Amino acid sequence: MAKVMTSGGEALIKALADENVDIIFGYPGGAALHIYDAIYQQDRVQHILVRHEQAATHAADGFARATGKPGVCLVTSGPGATNAITGIATAYMDSIPLVVISGQVPNHLIGTDAFQETDMMGISRPIVKHSFLVQKPEEIPVIVKKAFHIATSGRPGPVVIDVPKNLTDPNEKFEYKFPSDLYLRSFALYNEAENSEVKKAVKLLTEAERPVIYAGGGAINSNAAEEIYEFGKLMGCPVTNTLMGLGVYPASDEQFVGMLGMHGTYEANMVMHEADLIMAIGARFDDRITNNPNKFGLQAKKIHIDSDPSSIDKIIDVDVAMTGNAKKVISQINKELKAMNFDNKKFDPWMKKAMQWRADHGLNHNMLDQKNPGDIILPQQVIQSAYKATDGKAFVTSDVGQHQMFAAQYYHFNEPRKWINSGGLGTMGFGLPAAMGVKFAFPDETVACITGEGSIQMCIQELSTCGQYGLPIKIINLNNRALGMVKQWQDMQYGGRYSSISYEDSLPDFIKLAESYGHVGMKVEKLSELQAAMEECFALKDKLVFLDVYVDPDEHVYPMLKAGGDMSEMYLSKTEKTFE
């Protein structure tokens, strides 16, 4: 084969193309200009110009969550790099594969406080899976290959490649070689679990009386939905998903008891509390799940499947630990259960009990039919309306706050990768740019961003990006004229002292704002007009629609776990609770 000579900048983009990357999100600047010149001179990798580097990372992140492929973004040094930090931390907390390329000042200026210099390796260190500072342009293809391998394997996560400007100099060419194999020293990857552990797990599963399957984001990352569905059916027991795991088990299935945790359903939290066996799949016993870890699952034996050994026994000690890929490990367990013709009938009374809990205090999923005083709209009704208008088939991204919890509770996700939200870091401003990433990945699918008037203003500049690339995202803005989740906590824990949550007089006219970017703006204030507006919004296939929905400003998200309590201790409404 003839030698291919490239500059560092060209090698970087060519290596991305050779990694099958066809889209990257970014923002140019001084230290990245050689790279941008290389982008201009090729057509294998499309570059999407965002309006703020945070949005580049979130868009790449949304792309990754929806597709399962790594998201890629490119930013310049200094402020470009620091603006990307929030997005990198967001991906890190949710274990999302991201490759972030940052320009850096030329080698000889590093450490001199040069213009737009920041120590990206240092600043990003605690929030990356790994990072590389390029030392020689020839090593760029190998570094790119390593970065993608590290970002996507095991427990995925973001990887930063910091590239000094002089190493991308268009005048300095070298022979481009994309490696066919990689060598990494002792980079342990876990696939299948030890057979002895599988046997132990199966013994616990089949000997249990009240088992529950609790699946999280790791189950989605390992594409284990099919296996978990089969496992759920073999077990015939209640299944719950975390906020990050929604969709990995179909929400419409009769065994699904809803989301668990802080704002989980009554039945899911009761099932967890009363279970005698908790089977955790790709979930990490996070504090929003367990409530007080000292009071968590005291009656239950625990089995934990995770691709990251450091997640095991971190918060909750377990009886059987299986480090491995959830898809493969669940297959191993399914095989055993099938081989022994396991009869799950003995779990029927337990399943009935879960259904009784649902009947007692489950969420009301038919709120669209109810009438409200003053024709006011409740936020839950907006989600149900969106669900109805999209037939439950949309990709739904969200920001962070009450609207996020309502969306998680009321939009039934039947497939993985359809629900895209910042669960770990809780990043306001995530929703719109993430929706852009999803829309680029799936241009023919319906993509809705469920947001609030607080969150949307954190990355609202991306309305411009959506205009430039013609992205017909549907923005459903649950406008309660206040920072709703903060307000809820101030109501419940701070005697209703509303500190810094209100900006009602200074809210923009979102209709005009959307229109000024070339989009469609719609406003709805009455419940009687909600469904028609929602249908119209989703019917405008080629337009971004900003649907500004005025909702009850006093609504709280329930259930809500009592701080420091166990999982059965919940507030069920403003007047009801399960504890004294």
User: Is 165 one of the annotated active-site residues of the chain?
Assistant: yes
Per the annotation, the verdict on 116 as an active-site residue is yes
Cβ atoms of 413 and 251 within 8 Å: the answer is yes
Q: Which two tokens mark 4?
A: 């291919």
For another protein, give the closer residue by CB, 107 or 568.
107
Locate 1 and state its tokens.
């084969």
Question: Given the DSSP bridges, would you call strands 474-479 and 419-420 parallel, antiparallel or unpaired?
Answer: unpaired
User: Of 273, 355, 186, 364, which is closest to residue 567 (Cα–Cα)?
Assistant: 273
**193 vs 246, beta carbon nearer another protein:** 193
- Nearest CB to another protein, comparing residues 102 and 390: 102
Work out whether strand 130-133 and strand 98-104 pair parallel, antiparallel, or are unpaired: unpaired
- Shortest Å distance, C-beta 122 to another protein: 7
How far is the C-alpha of 125 from the C-alpha of 119, rounded, in Å? Answer: 10
Among 10, 14, 25, 53, the active-site one is: 53
**Between 40 and 187, whose beta carbon lies closer to another protein?**
187
226-251: string of b/e by CB count within 10 Å (b at 16+)? ebbbbbbebbbbbbbbbbbbbbbbbb
CB of 11 to another protein, least distance (A): 18
Catalytic-labelled residue, pool 69, 116, 173, 314: 116
| Other CB atoms within 10 A of residue 11 CB | 29
Question: Closer CB to another protein, residue 20 or residue 299?
Answer: 20
Single-letter amino acid code for the residue at 32: A
CB of 187 to another protein, least distance (A): 5
Partners of 520 in the β-ladder = 545
Task: Quote the CA–CA distance of 253 and 239 in Å, as a whole number.
Answer: 9
Q: By CB under 8 A, name the binding residues for another protein.
A: 121-122, 125-126, 129-131, 133, 149-150, 180-189, 308-310, 312-314
> Of 436, 485, 522, 567, which one is the catalytic site residue?
485
Catalytic residue list contains 367: no
**What is the four-CA torsion angle of 59, 65, 66, 68, rounded to 10 degrees?**
120
Query: What are the C-alpha distances in Å from 118 to residues 76, 80, 164, 271?
Result: 10, 10, 11, 49
The one catalytic residue among 5, 41, 46, 115: 115
Ramachandran assignment for 423, one of left (phi > 0), alpha (psi -120 to 50 degrees), beta (any other): alpha
Least distance CB 146 / another protein (angstroms): 9
In the complex, minimum distance from the CB of residue 308 to another protein, in angstroms, rounded to a whole number: 7
Would you call 493 a catalytic residue per the annotation?
no
Closer Cβ to another protein, 320 or 450, answer by number: 320
Q: Out of 145, 146, 165, 487, pick the active-site residue.
A: 165
Question: What are the tokens at 357?
Answer: 């809990």
* Of residues 129 and 403, the one with the C-beta less far from another protein: 129
* Phi, psi values for residue 221, rounded to 5°: -55, -35
Name the minimum Å distance from CB 224 to another protein.
21
Write out the two tokens for 116: 């737009």
Residue count of the chain, please give it.
580
Cα(46)–Cα(22) distance, rounded to whole angstroms? 6
Q: In what order do the strands lie in the sheet with 277-281?
A: 256-259, 239-241, 211-215, 277-281, 301-306, 320-323
**Shortest Cβ distance from residue 271 to another protein (Å)?**
28
CB of 152 to another protein, least distance (A): 11
For the chain, state the CA radius of gyration: 25
- How many other CB atoms sit within 10 Å of the CB of residue 521? 20
Our answer to whether residue 14 is catalytic in this structure is no
CA angle 163, 14, 466 (to 5 degrees): 80
SS3 419: strand
Q: Shortest distance, CB of residue 125 to another protein, whole angstroms?
A: 5
Burial-class residue 40 by CB neighbours within 10 Å (0-12, 13-18, 19+).
exposed
Find, among 197, 213, 209, the residue nearest to 279 by Cα: 213
The catalytic residues are 53, 115-116, 165, 485
